[in-house]
Amino acid sequence: MTLKRRLATLLLFLAAGLAPALMACSQPASLPMAGERVAPSDAGQIHLSFAPIVRKAAPAVVNVYSRRVVRTQVDPFWGMFMGGAVPRQRVEQSLGSGSIVRADGVILTNHHVIDGAQEIMVVTADRREWPAQVKLDDPRADLAVLQIDARGESLPTIAIDDRADVQVGDLVLAIGDPFGVGQTVTNGIVSALARSSGDGGGNDFSYYIQTDAAINPGNSGGPLVDMNGDLIGVNTAIVSASGGSTGVGFAIPARLVRQVVSAAVGGGHTVVRPWIGAKLQGLTGDMARSLGLSAPQGVLVAELWPGGPAERAGIARGDVIVSVDGQPVNDPSAVNYRIATQGPGASVSLLVRKAGGVDRTVTARLTTPPDQPARDERTIAGQNPLNGATVINLSPAAAVDLGLDPFAGAGVVVTAVNGGYAGNLGLQPGDFIRQINNQPIATTAQLVQVMAQPARGWIISIQRGGQTITARVGF
């Protein structure tokens, strides 16, 4: 065999030996099955891109601009030189983000982005501007649904994925318009589930997806997106001392989002949510030990509404609710969220730990909170310290609407203060008027009658945040 033929044969053997290795290097590692979660196994996987996900989701993400005109009072000192304290107007603007969830122009954002707005504009990803109207505003969930006139055009949309399989460690993207710089994408992971924002803000349910994807002012209302390009949450709050992202952001879960969008698309102007008729309390270590529990797991039933869903299900004061529909609950917010995302008339399964450590599963059929007594809204007029205050009779339904404790007791509660003497007195929405001149006040009709009686002075007892404030006012 000549040298030339020997070299050719050797090259063929080398090529045959290197082929499997070359093929192994050129082909990607096996992809995980649907629903399976695996860590990156090689450098090729680490260099993968989120670009396909962004291309799918980003066209449906919009900027939301709202503005309102606020009247401010000129300082009385300067008013003396200007013919009186003439109110001036100033324009307040709010910037946020949103998601197109239906092709005919239904858009989801945060309530706090459009709160009090007199004009709302939406800018789509292609830089077109659209005037928007509020279709449904839900302050309790801090969500709002807007409508733009798509003029028959089919707009890009993002799907809402409200399955309960989000896990800590899942990769996510946050898309929005932080600081008004233009559409921006950040990535991170799900840092925790069922978290409270910790600042007393946000929504009534305080049940969030926590993420370290950078969220900044202007991201509010934008989507938190999974690796399928679907919306799993609405970015709504951050914890920050500086006002910028510190890697602790919160998103409203898609299950609550779906409920609000469905109500709006169905023609509703409010979201009707059920309640369980129980006042709940988180467990401390000492409380758990006193109840014979090995750990503070579950939620204590502190009070029951007579004839409410919890009482009818056989739950008693002092019981501990361990889980709702098989999902563990360790604070009242978790129970409230699980209940709130059901529909009125739905049945939920509750695992309850009774006295003596006996576990029992009960079924509660949920109802809407009762609206009795009737609210009988009235605005106080006349020469008296409560002039300008609007009041109602408190019922569980009214308490839920106002964000008050339904177990605060019957009575008259202030819902608005529109100037008048009540504003000078310092009366605030949410105040309970308990007594006038040492006479207990039970209804709005009684309050109007008492305030219509002439008096040289008034002793007014107000309950605010668990404290009783007594004011003496001369007239």
Instruction: List the catalytic residue out of 112, 137, 212, 226.
Output: 112
- Tell me the HSE value of 135 on the side-chain side, using a 13 A CA sphere: 24
For residue 70, pLDDT over 70 is answered with: no
- Among 142, 161, 226, 230, the one annotated catalytic: 142
Split at pLDDT 50, 70, 90, the class of 27 is very low
**Shared-domain flag, residues 385 and 453:** yes
Q: Confirm whether 284 is domain-assigned.
A: yes
Q: Is 267 left (phi over 0), alpha (psi -120 to 50) or beta?
A: left
3-state secondary structure 232-272: EEEEEEECCCCCCCCCCEEEEEHHHHHHHHHHHHCCCCCCC
Number of domains in the chain: 4
Q: What torsion do the CA atoms of 194, 195, 197, 200 make, to the nearest 10 degrees?
A: 70
- Mark whether 433 and 356 lie in a shared domain: no
Report if residue 315 sits inside a domain.
yes
pLDDT (mean) for 18-31? 43
Nearest to 466 by CA among 425, 407, 414: 407
115 is catalytic: no
Lowest-confidence pick of 4-8, 127-131, 429-433, 437-441: 4-8
Residue 43 lies in a domain: no
pLDDT of 34 > 80? The answer is no
Whether 258 and 176 share a structural domain: yes
Question: By the 8 A CB rule, do 124 and 98 touch?
Answer: no
Known catalytic membership, residue 170: no
**Residue 94 pLDDT level (bands cut at 50, 70, 90):** confident
Q: Is residue 153 part of a domain?
A: no
CATH number, position 299: 2.30.42.10
The catalytic position among 220, 245, 333, 461 is: 220
Q: What is the pLDDT of residues 231-282, one digit of tens each?
A: 999 999 887 666 666 778 999 999 999 999 999 999 988 898 999 999 999 9
Query: 72 with 136, same domain?
Result: yes
- Do 248 and 285 lie in one domain? The reply is no
Q: What is the pLDDT of residues 406-453, one digit of tens each?
A: 888 889 999 999 878 888 888 999 999 999 999 999 999 999 999 988
Nearest to 370 by CA among 340, 335, 407: 407
**Nearest alpha carbon to residue 475 among 383, 379, 381, 389:** 383
CATH code for the domain in which residue 220 is found: 2.40.10.10
Whether this model's pTM surpasses 0.85: no
3-state secondary structure of 3: helix
Active-site residue 220, yes or no?
yes
Q: Is residue 302 part of a domain?
A: yes
Residue 306 pLDDT > 90: yes
User: pLDDT value at position 305?
Assistant: 94
For residues 198 and 161, is the Cβ–Cβ distance under 8 A?
Answer: no
Answer positive or negative: Cα dihedral of 165, 169, 175, 179.
positive
End position of a domain, from candidates 315, 331, 365: 365
Q: Are residues 359 and 387 in the same domain?
A: no
DSSP states of 187-227: EEEEEEEEE--SSS-S-SS--EEEE-S---TT-TTPEEE-T
- Return the C-alpha torsion angle 63, 69, 73, 78, nearest 10: 90
Note whether 252 and 333 are same-domain residues: no
* pLDDT given for residue 175 in this prediction: 96
Q: Does the structure show a pLDDT above 60 at 230?
A: yes
**How large is the average pLDDT for residues 355-364?**
89
Range of the domain at 90: 55-148
Domain boundary among 232, 265, 298: 265
